[in-house]
Amino acid sequence: MTVGYERLHLSNGPNRQKLTSIVVLLVLFLSLTVAGIVLAFAVLDRPPFPPDPGTGNSSINQCSMVLVESIPLHVTYQDNETLGIPLEQVWKDLISLASTQLDVVSFYWTLTAEDIGINSSSAKPGRDILTQLGMLPSRNVSVRVITSIPTVVTNTTDLQFLKQNGVQVRRVNFGRLTGGVLHSKFWIVDRKHVFIGSPNMDWRALTQVKELGVRIYNCSSLAEDLHKIFQSYWVMGESSSTLPQPWPAEYDAAFSKQRPLLVEEDGVPSSVYISASPPSFCPPTRTLDLEAILSIMSEAEEFVDISVMQYSPNTYFTRPQRYWPFIDTAIRTAAFETNVKFRMLISCGRDSDPAVLPFLQSLASLGSPSQQLNIEIKLFIVPVGNQSDIPYTRINHNKYMVTDKVAYIGTSNWSGDYYMFTAGVGLVISPHAPPQTEATPTLQMQLKAVFDRDWHSEFAVRLSDLGHHPDCALAKPLD
């Protein structure tokens, strides 16, 4: 069972998804599974967004947003390349800022290398974070932690340590509730500051795995909306919990694709909202993660850049596997009908599944600049080097998309299970205009610069140029 890749066999769960009309037609035309058809028709029954209750999103909120990264040891870029703020620094800053409350959601916890029988100096940042979290209750800061059932099998002592120091811990049995897992990763500090991104609470996320997220300061409206998602997990962490149908009004999303929060992102007017999955955990007012992804693609006019750990147009974990073409079809449709340029950076490590290769090759084969079909795919390979003794590591764990209009940072891989059964969140931010000076790049500009850096780096390899590569399981084996 894989920790860094977050692979877990999932069972079928409830299917209720909001899809665009083109996806509904696709489902009917292809006569997919009964579950897929039910999922599509559920869209038609989903009630419209309720009238604005006057929650105050007409005013502009002042928010500071910046990109956060963790670059694995021994992965280096040119001196002048764009880099996000180091993840370790951001987590420590958030801990020091906490004055009343800290809420943390993570799929699993393993911040000490001893839990997996490893003796590595690269685990020190993880131990430091765990120690600092454990000290917060002594500062009269209420700390609540949520993790998943089922989760990866580890001998972690993190949660026991935290509970002994006054931290409240709940495990949400998503296996029982939806047939999935809790895969979200976010922090909320004092209902005012937020972190959302790809890293779990794992020491390897700080030094051995390539991660990406966003730090948002002084944005209480957004933090309060994300807190509603946290609360939905918290109440479902009770042993006798059952999914409400419908969710009570206090869980209604304050902001959505139809009614985003208006912010000034370091002086640049922008719209922002939080999307989520699975459908069974989302009230009708919450934009579903899949809906957000599909709409972002359909609205792009120039380019769509995608960086994800796993891309697979099927239900990857459920048995039997099912074809799940919604994102794949959206890419093909946009590339064909609008001539938008797609670049996809898919992670490949020693434990990656070679079964995804035909899907990637099929999509890449459509690329034909002479026919104005612009789809390019590269694999991002983190060199293992002398770190081979550390399991489930040396991988690009990013989960984001950036277009000429929008920045999207999520917590889910791109296969069907994540959007039907598994808990995840995404941040969607759309700047209304370019900044007045280059000294204050928007989050969208920062994300574009990071993607360009990775796309042109020595670690990005075209499928056609892959050949044999010892650090990528999709590469050709030696004869």
Catalytic residue of the set 103, 115, 158, 185: 185
- Find where tokens 């500090």 sit: 189
Omega of the bond leading into 278 within 30 degrees of 0 (cis): yes
Catalytic residue among 18, 103, 158, 183: 183
| 103: annotated active-site residue | no
Q: What is the CA radius of gyration of the chain?
A: 21
d(CA 307, CA 317): 21
- Active-site residue flag, 397: yes
Q: Rounded to whole angstroms, how far apart are CA atoms 134 and 252?
A: 32
Buried b / exposed e over 311-330, threshold 16 CB at 10 Å, is bbbbbbbbeeebebbbbbbb
Examine residue 320 and say whether the peptide bond preceding it is cis (omega within 30 degrees of 0): yes
Selected catalytic residue, list 190, 266, 351, 353: 190
Give dist(CA 158, CA 174) in Å, integer: 21
Nearest C-alpha neighbor of 43 from the set 252, 294, 401, 225: 294
Assess whether 190 carries a catalytic annotation: yes
For residues 428 and 402, the answer to whether their CB atoms sit within 8 Å is no
Q: Is 148 helix (H, G, I), strand (E, B) or coil?
A: strand
- Among the listed residues 217, 103, 89, the one whose alpha carbon sits nearest the alpha carbon of residue 169: 103
Write the DSSP symbol of residue 336.
Answer: H
| Residue 389: active-site member | no
Residues with a known catalytic role: 183, 185, 190, 397
